[in-house]
Amino acid sequence: MTGKAPVPVVVKFANQGDNAQQNVVVDVRLTAPGQQPVTAKKTVNRTQPGEETSVTIPLPKVPPATSVGTLLVKIQPVGGEKNTDNNEATYTVIFAG
């Protein structure tokens, strides 16, 4: 990732249910050694069953260049969702200057 804020994080996810969903909240949290965690979120107005959706979330602050961090992406559960095992993922990110 580039080392200059704001850094856009593109999150792609699928509505794997049978119903359209509204106000789906997507959270991102960036942690890096010696730095305060950076969090951001966006709400997706509507998703359709069986379709993928992308949302771009700008991180307002990033660690210095050459830092290595961990990015946690989490889709908040929606009404009626029973299986949330696939609602989050963690990625290692390296920041370049």
Domains for the chain: give ranges and CATH numbers: 7-94 (2.60.40.10)
**In this structure, what token pair is assigned to residue 28?**
């991102």
pLDDT digits 0-9 by tens, 31-78: 999 989 999 999 999 999 999 999 999 999 888 888 899 999 999 999
* pTM value surpassing 0.85: yes
pLDDT tops 70 at residue 1: no
Report the alpha-carbon distance of residue 85 to residue 40 in Å, rounded.
Answer: 21
pLDDT number for residue 81: 87
Confidence of residue 93 (pLDDT cuts 50, 70, 90): very high
**Rounded percentage of the chain residues whose pLDDT exceeds 70:** 96
**Residue 9: which of 57, 51, 45, 47 has the closest Cα?**
57
CB 93 within 8 A of CB 68: yes
Number of alpha carbons in the 13 Å side-chain half-sphere of residue 85: 1
Neighbours of 72 (CB within 10 A): 15
Please give the backbone phi and psi of residue 43, each rounded to the nearest 5 degrees, phi first: -110, 130
Mean residue pLDDT across the chain: 92
